Amino acid sequence: MPTVLFDIDGTLIHSGGVGQRALLRSFEDLTNKKIQINPLFLAGRTDYFIIYHLLENYLGGYERHKHERLLELYLQYLAEEIAKSPPKVLPGVYEVLNSLRDQGIRLGLLTGNVREGARLKLGDLYSYFSIGFFGDEEEDRNMLALKARSYLEDEFWIVGDTPHDISCARAGGGKCIAVATGHYSRHELAGADYVLNSLEEWFFYWH
Ligand SMILES: [Mg+2]
């Protein structure tokens, strides 16, 4: 049986920028500075990568204690931002997850979010997934797929909304279904095995 590993933001949910707002609030607390971050810089990246670059570029260099403090603030603000405006589950998500679960397919997450951030963003959806590869400790998303490869015995599929998800699947020897529900168009996702306008089209391809 294959395993299907889902990305979160832009794939399962639209979070309406809660992660970005939480990150900027945490950053401001630590530095008293306001910065802008291009959402395309964040999309498909691991939280570790993002934190590393913020510390290197704005906080005098990477240090573990700064990382932990920024992450602690981020998770606190993320919970607040989600309470104010809960993420929206994207069309077709429940139908796809229920169908795969009924087929006995193992469902997992492969996401740049830290595990706790994933849990907060997904809410009830989190319980569908029995395994996860998260962005807590890996700067490079592709490493998550290599971990998946070494952990999973059978083939795996990665479902995501960015070119990073596609290269991640390739790096780990997995297949990729891309969905154009994030920042990228179908055209930009053409390197995937299948490209869907949204998960509502899943059943055209997967039986
Ligand atoms: Mg995504």
pLDDT at res. 35: 82
What is the model's pLDDT at position 42? 77
Rounded to the nearest angstrom, the distance between the alpha carbon of 13 and the centre of ligand 1 is 9
Instruction: Report how far ligand 1's centroid is from the alpha carbon of 128 (Å).
Output: 18
Please state, rounded to an integer, the average pLDDT across all residues of the chain: 94
User: In CATH, which superfamily holds the domain spanning 3-15+88-205?
Assistant: HAD superfamily/HAD-like (3.40.50.1000)
CA of 110 to the centre of ligand 1 (A): 10
Residue 1 — very low, low, confident or very high, per pLDDT cuts 50/70/90? Answer: confident
**46-86 pLDDT per residue, tens:** 999 999 999 998 889 999 999 999 999 999 999 999 999 99
Residue position matching structure tokens 């707002």: 21
Pairing of strands 106-110, 88-89: unpaired
Upper half-sphere CA count for residue 101 (Cβ side, 13 Å): 12
In this structure, of 30-39, 164-173, 194-203, the range with the lowest mean pLDDT score is 30-39
**Cα–ligand 1 centroid distance for 119 (angstroms):** 15
Rg, the chain, Cα only: 17
State the residue for tokens 């998550």.
144
H helix and E strand count, the chain: 9, 8
Distance 144 CA to ligand 1 centre (A): 14
Q: Distance between CA 156 and CA 174 in Å, rounded?
A: 5
In angstroms, rounded to a whole number, what is the distance separating the alpha carbons of residues 97 and 104?
11
Cα–Cα distance measured from residue 71 to residue 78, given in angstroms and rounded to the nearest whole number: 10
CA dihedral in degrees (184, 185, 190, 194; nearest 10)? 90
- Look at residue 91 and give its three-state secondary structure: coil
Q: What is the sign, positive or negative, of the torsion defined by CA atoms of 129, 171, 144, 78?
A: negative
Q: Determine what percent of the chain is predicted with pLDDT higher than 90.
A: 82
pTM exceeds cut of 0.85? yes
Phi and psi torsions of 32, nearest 5°? 60, 20
163 C-alpha to ligand 1 centroid (Å): 9
pLDDT at 129 over 80: yes
* Domain range list for the chain: 3-15+88-205, 18-84
Q: Is the pLDDT of residue 199 over 90?
A: yes
In this predicted model, what pLDDT tens digit does every residue of 97-118 receive, in sequence order?
A: 999 999 999 999 999 999 999 9
Alpha-carbon distance of 201 to 37, in angstroms, equals: 32
Report the candidate in 43, 37, 36 with the shortest Cα–Cα distance to residue 9. Answer: 43
> Which helix or strand (DSSP H or E) is residue 176 part of?
strand 175-179
